[in-house]
Chains A and B, each alone.
Chain A
Amino acid sequence: MGNASMDDGDITRELWQSRIPICFILSDDDMSKVNRSELPEPLYLMLSRHLYFPCFIEKIFRYYSTYYKENLADTTNHLSIHNLWLEYESIPLKWHYPIGVLYDLYTSSLTSSTCHLPWQIIVHLSQFPENELIRFPDRESIEAYYMSTLKEADALKHKGQIIGDMQKRDHKQLWNSLLQDKYETFWNINMKLMSYTDNLLYFRYIPYRIYLLDRPYLQKLFAPYDSEHDRWMTLNDLVQYSLNHELHCEHFANGKKMLNTNVNDYQVIIHGVQPPLHTPVQWLSEYFSYPDNFLHICLVEKRT
């Protein structure tokens, strides 16, 4: 793929800056426990697509806790920052996925483009669904999760050689610049993770996950270059391969809706845009990955 051109650098910067307007609304259940005469107004925040909702747990909780001053001391209420979770249309939001991934997955199938901005999300302060959602009790736990994903990406790309050779302070720099919105400082380190090893001109495997509604994500080993046929693999190849493999695994007997493996029946969305399906995945991996170095791809069925 060669050296980054001016245009490619502009792309990564654009992606870094993209944000989503979100409107947080308190759940009816928790609203009923508010002890002030005025009910909480919704909370509006502009959040980076590539960050994680748990980064904002404290901010959200602080906002709503002012309405519960007395109730917070009452432990029978179970209103606690540790029980805060988010829901969209009765679905607990898997907040270990980046914000942009959740947004693209859940709102792309809506017909009108105006009806889902700002994105309306319900805030719950009790009954944390611990069998579905990962807990992030503090900032360190989010950092640990981010680092574990980053390490997995490097394991796929470089057998972990590059991240393994990095100093601890480089790891810290990646996470801190992500939190502090510092593009340059982030990419100073991240570009090392985009280099090649083992005399290859591409990554060993592409770190990616494909998200569909009502299904766990798809992830397989996928090489970006087919040396036998001297061919760069495309986004279409990657999606097709993953869908075919998933169908192969599926049990027909359990009555699950059979997976549609026709790529053309889906919008293939990364960072809210639909890259051309003939784009080489090596390029996408270098320029269109999230800060965790994974390509998070949403497949949303097109309406017929």
Chain B
Amino acid sequence: MTLTLEEFNQCISDLYEQSQQIHDRWQLQKTSKGSYLVYSFVDQDHLKHEFHIVYSESYAVPVLYFNVSRLDGSLLSLDDVWQLFTHRKTSKMYETITQQEHSILHRPFFVLHPCHTENVLKQVANQPIKKKFLFWLSIYGQSVGLPLSVHYAID
């Protein structure tokens, strides 16, 4: 199941509106290359987590980019990131997270690979677009520590 660009833009716009209403942190960035959502927070170890939701034209699905940085601005490596999420390091690991050039900002971000997204979304194939989007976000976001309030699931 895929999303058109229009559907994607509608989803992130709706999420942003809801975020405003519940005083959450999502920000909506609009650029000439496309719009995307940003969420960032600093954890108790003073690490800054930054998440971007960007549309992939190639896969026609949303993609989750993220970076984790220290106070001095230095970025965590992939190894550091995996330790953070307490996943065991296996060879499958590299299949799911790679560093890529952010398709709008063109600088390095980690990305959860979108090649399985269409399969993941099949589970909610008959749901409205918005539910599909939230389902995707909750699954992908959860694996990399993105907090998602239950309020978003409530219409």
The chain A residues found within 8 Å of chain B, CB to CB, are 94, 96, 130-135, 137, 140-141, 143-145, 147-148, 151-152, 155-156, 160, 164, 205, 207, 216-217, 219-221, 249-251
Contacts and interface: CB of A to CB of B under 8 A. Distances in A.
A137 B78 contact: yes
B115 A160 contact: yes
Interface of B: 32-33, 57-59, 74-75, 77-79, 91, 94-95, 98-101, 106-108, 113, 115, 118
- Nearest first, the 5 A-B pairs at minimum CB distance are A144-B94, A216-B106, A249-B32, A134-B99, A151-B115
Given A132-B108, A134-B108, A155-B59, A249 B33 contact: yes
Given A131-B107, A156-B58, A141 B115 contact: no
B32 A147 contact: no
A141 B33 contact: no
B57 A148 contact: no
A220 B57 CA distance: 8
B151 to A, nearest CB: 33
Contact of B95 (A147, A156, A219, A250): A147
25 contacts: A130-B75, A130-B108, A131-B75, A131-B107, A132-B107, A133-B108, A134-B100, A134-B101, A135-B77, A135-B108, A137-B78, A140-B94, A141-B98, A144-B94, A144-B95, A145-B99, A147-B95, A155-B115, A160-B115, A205-B58, A216-B101, A216-B106, A220-B57, A250-B32, A251-B32
Given A148-B98, A249-B33, A251-B32, 14 more contacts: A131-B75, A134-B99, A135-B78, A135-B108, A137-B77, A137-B78, A144-B94, A148-B113, A151-B113, A151-B115, A156-B58, A205-B58, A216-B101, A217-B106
Nearest to B107: A131
Contacts of B94: 140-141, 143-144
A152 B101 CA distance: 14
A152 B32 contact: no
Contacts of A147: 95
A249 B33 CA distance: 7
B84 to A, nearest CB: 16
Contacts of B99: 134-135, 141, 145
A155 B98 contact: no
Contacts of B91: 140
Contacts of A132: 107-108
A259 to B, nearest CB: 12
Contacts of A131: 75, 107-108
B112 to A, nearest CB: 11
Contacts of A135: 77-78, 99, 108
Contacts of A207: 58
B106 A152 contact: no
Contacts of B108: 130-135
A155 B75 CA distance: 30
A282 B133 CA distance: 34
Contacts of A140: 91, 94
Nearest to B76: A130
A137 B32 contact: no
A152 B33 contact: no
B95 to A, nearest CB: 6
A140 B91 CA distance: 8
B66 to A, nearest CB: 15
Interface centre among A144, A207, A249, A250 (most CB of B within 10 A): A144
A304 to B, nearest CB: 29
Nearest to B109: A134
A257 B140 CA distance: 39
Interface centre among A145, A152, A164, A250 (most CB of B within 10 A): A152
Contacts of B118: 160
A143 to B, nearest CB: 8
A152 B78 contact: no
A205 B58 CA distance: 9
A147 to B, nearest CB: 7
Nearest to B94: A144
A207 B57 CA distance: 11
